[in-house]
Structure 1
Amino acid sequence: MGMKGMADILVVDDVAENLHMLQLILRQQGHTVLAAINAEVALNIIQRKPPELVITDIKMPGTSGIELCKLLKAEKHTSHIPVIFVSAHSDTDWIVEALHAGGNDYITKPFIPAEILARVDTQIKLLDAQKSAVKQQLSQVMNEMVIGVAHEINTPLGTAITAVSHCSDTIYKLINTLKEGELSSDEIVAKLTECDTSLSLSERNLTRVAKFVSMVKQIARVECPVSPTRVSLLELSEKVQCAWLNKPVSIEIIVHHEDVALFDGGLLASVIDTLIANSLSHGRQEGKLEVRIGLGIEDARLIVSYLDNGLGLDGISEEDMLKPFVTTKRGNTGHVGLSASVAANLIVNALNGSYQVHDRQHGLEWQISLPVEPV
């Protein structure tokens, strides 16, 4: 959604005059409007870039508006899109069927601009309320995450402190025994090996803490003001690829147009880096991780597609994936299940965008949409 109260709207009607009238009314109010002369064209548009609201005639040749609505509601990635039907006063039975099919409201002919704008405004307010609910849910998730921070830090820190303490005690005893000349060379080697083991254990756990703190710092960036700058998508793609050189991942980035826009490129790069790191943590045990990223600007929105060939959600739900400390990789990997939460929080709260996550047969897919200012 662009400016407050404005929306991306798709209008579907087989009568050109109706399309023209609806576009005129909505655009005068500041909405971004796309038009389709039938349901088939509408579906192609929606597949490329889902709108925030659909206004469709009930009766159309071929696929009717009701059938179009059913198709949208049947697909997970479009089921959330509200649908307003257009009908004549005599279409009472059709209106009832349309609402049963999942329609959210209806507009009667002949068009009354004030009525159209009022009904559209109602749906936009509902969309805003849903978006606020998502933000609130993510904030709650982040609060729950803080509760787990103490455990995630204290456990490796406690282990590291114990290991260092044991090493210090061993060295102290070793020095005293050496002064007395009571140790053989084999005993000295054994004691030093014991110290080396303790130090290695400490290093592993402190590294785990350092990675965890780095992840938490990413979360803190949500509260910082964004810094929109002139960003080239081509340069952004090169920056991301350079950051992952010599890493066990193959990254292919497709820039659909060599566009330049105003947005916080640093934050977006952090989102992409977080997703790649998460893919590596959940990647296949055999074979190299492959990541495909698409970047393009459409109608003042930056569209980012992200797809890996990892194990996907691997048995957990999309909802659980966004919860802190939920992971399929807990254990010696040191992965604590924060990456998805961090990425989602940055997208929604810091960049004021939206996202969808899909568990594909051969990996995980993120579809991200962010508001930008073309230059």
Structure 2
Amino acid sequence: MSDILIVDDMASNRYILRCLLEEAGYPVREATDGQQALDAATRSPPALVLMDINMPVMNGYEACRRIKQLPGQWCLPVLFISANNEISALEQAFQAGGCDYVSKPFHQLEVLARVQNQLRLKDLSRQQAKVQLYQSLFQLTAGIAHEINTPVGIGITASSLIHGAGDLLANAVQNGMLGQRLLHQQLTDIKEGSELVESSLRRVALLITRFKELTRDQHELPALHFPVQKSLSK
């Protein structure tokens, strides 16, 4: 089980949350400011972050934004904790990427309920992502089968044509009935069949090469910060 990261500059708050979460069976880490939280999430991403807002060095809003910019952590749930219940503070929390808000002083049942709810939502999102991945794989497999079956089917038909022409020529030679016209016609069929087999095999080889390219390791690009307001002001 991944741990929960508690971020608060007040030791008493961290102690209360640690005791509450550990009693519920959750492993816990602590950080005393936003920079420590960012460093901790970079080293080892937690399952969830409980983030205070007003802290030295780096406040909770900025820490949340930066954590969300870490590779693969845009969906990491961050619950803000603060004694400030004003609407503006809540709006800032959600704009920074927070998923929920816990008010101080803490109510144990509320904290546990919100933590459990976010972890369930995260697990559900992971399961939905797996289902979508499996569906995509099934569709890709079906597409590959269709793309390969077409040239393979043409190649099989062409091979049958070549085989039939060869049998016809062999019988004609055996019976002494091989004439120039028959020979020309069957050699033409064999040539056309051979060309179809070759083109089909080339098509299959090309498809396999393209499918191999699709399966190459794709390195995730780092998230980039785009200054929207600065850009619009120009």
Please give the TM-score of this superposition, normalised by the length of structure 2: 0.71
Choose which of 77, 83, 88 in structure 2 pairs with 1:88: 83
- Note closer, same or farther for the CA distance 1:199–1:104 as it changes in structure 2 (3 Å cut): closer
- Structure 1 residues 340 and 114: alpha-carbon distance in aligned structure 2, compared to 1, 3 A threshold: farther
**What residue number does 1:230 align with?**
none
1:332 is matched with 206
Q: Are the equivalent residues in 1 in contact too, given 2:154–2:197 (CA < 8 A)?
A: no
Distance 1:75 1:47 in 2: 7
Partners of 1:34 and 1:74 in 2: how far apart? 21
Q: Which residue of 1 aligns with 2:136?
A: 141
Give the Cα–Cα distance (whole angstroms) in 2 for the partners of residues 156 and 196 of structure 1. Answer: 13
1:19: Cα distance to partner? 2.2
Q: Secondary structure at the match of 2:12?
A: helix
Structure 2 CA distance for aligned equivalents of residues 42 and 138 of structure 1: 31
Of 50, 59, 62, the residue aligned with 1:67 is 62
Q: Over aligned residues, Cα RMSD in angstroms? A: 4.0
Distance 1:332 1:30 in 2: 54
Q: Please list the CA deviations of residues 162-201 of structure 1 after superposition, one character each: whole Å capped at 9, or x if unmatched.
A: 22112202321331344339699xx9xxx6x959946964
SS of alignment partner, residue 71 of structure 1? helix
Asked if 1:113 corresponds to 2:108, the answer is yes
Maintained 8 Å contact 1:55/1:86: yes
Match of 1:98 in 2: 93
Change (3 A) 1:162 1:137: same
- 1:50 is paired with a residue of what secondary structure? coil
Q: Which residue of 2 aligns with 1:358?
A: 220
Alpha-carbon shift at residue 87 of structure 1 (Å): 1.0
2: distance between equivalents of 1:97 and 1:27?
A: 29
TM-score w.r.t. the length of structure 1 is 0.47
Question: RCO (CA 8 Å, sep 6+): is it higher in 1 or 2?
Answer: 2
Secondary structure of residue in 1 paired with 2:102: strand
- 2:46 equivalent among 38, 42, 51: 51
SS in 1 for 2:63: helix
Counterpart-to-counterpart distance in 2, 1:338 and 1:21: 53
Structure 1 distance, partners of 2:61, 2:54, is 8
Q: Is 2:154 the counterpart of 1:168?
A: no
- Structure whose residues are more often strand by fraction: 1
Contact 2:80–2:100 at 8 Å: present in 1 too? yes
Instruction: Look up the SS of the partner of 2:97 in the other structure.
Output: coil
Aligned length: 215
Contact kept? 1:159, 1:202, Cα under 8 Å: no
Tell whether 2:120 aligns with 1:125.
yes
Please identify the structure whose Cα radius of gyration is greater. Answer: 2
Confirm or deny: 8 A CA contact 1:8 1:31 kept in the other structure: yes
Kindly tell me: are residues 74 and 146 of structure 1, through their superposed partners in 2, closer, same or farther at Cα, counting changes over 3 Å? closer
Structure 1: unaligned runs, 5 residues or longer: 209-330, 344-355, 361-375
Q: Larger helix proportion, structure 1 or 2? A: 2
Q: Take 2:141 and 2:200, find their aligned partners in 1: how far apart are those partners?
A: 24
Provide the C-alpha distance between the structure 2 equivalents of 1:142 and 1:126, rounded to a whole number of angstroms: 24
Q: Distance in 2 between matches of 1:201 and 1:171?
A: 18
Written as runs of structure 1 = structure 2, the 5 A alignment for 1:171-210 is 171-179=166-174, 180=176, 194=191, 197=194, 201=198, 204=201
Give the conservation status (yes or no) of the 8 Å contact 1:170–1:195: no
Q: State the secondary structure of the residue aligned to 1:110.
A: coil
Identity of aligned residues (%): 34
1:58 to 1:203, Cα distance in 2 relative to 1, 3 A: same
- Work out the CA distance in 1 between the residues paired with 2:13 and 2:35: 18
Match of 1:271 in 2: none
AA at the equivalent of 1:71: R
1:310-321 alignment, distance < 5 Å: none
Kept in 1, the 8 Å contact 2:4–2:47? The answer is yes
Letter in 1 for 2:117: T
